[in-house]
Amino acid sequence: MTVRRYQEFHGRNPRGVSRRVFHVPQHLVKLGSAFAIEYVSDKFNGGGDGKRAIYRHRFESPATLYMDERGRKQLYIMSSHLKVTDAGIEN
């Protein structure tokens, strides 16, 4: 499943697959509103040409930013309007 999702987003096979430890939170702590997300990717889909580029997606309506109850390295952006498509993150 994760390889297929990578292929859909990047438009190519991954160079490798690694495993990450993921804490499943019992509770989320609200940090505030998120109005955009910005990230660097070398994707081909969504107008990318395979070169590293900065992608910025402004949200039409604000999403909510959360952290887990441990306050560690996981952040969550949640909105009923957000979705990830071949074109990227859409709102």
Q: What is the pLDDT of residue 81?
A: 86
Closest CA to 39 of 24, 52, 49: 52
- E-only strand ranges, the chain: 28-41, 53-68, 75-78, 83-85, 88-90
pLDDT tens digit sequence for 13-22: 888 888 878 8
Rg of the chain in Å (alpha carbons): 15
Residue 84: pLDDT over 70: yes
**Per-chain mean pLDDT for the chain:** 84
Conformational region of residue 46, where left means phi above 0, alpha means psi within -120 to 50, and beta covers everything else: left
The residue segments making up the domain with residue 29 are: 2-90
Residue 31: pLDDT over 60: yes
Instruction: Work out how many domains the chain is built from and give that number.
Output: 1
Q: What is the pLDDT of residue 90?
A: 80
Give me the half-sphere count of Cα atoms (radius 13 Å) on the Cβ side of residue 70: 8
- The model's pTM: 0.70
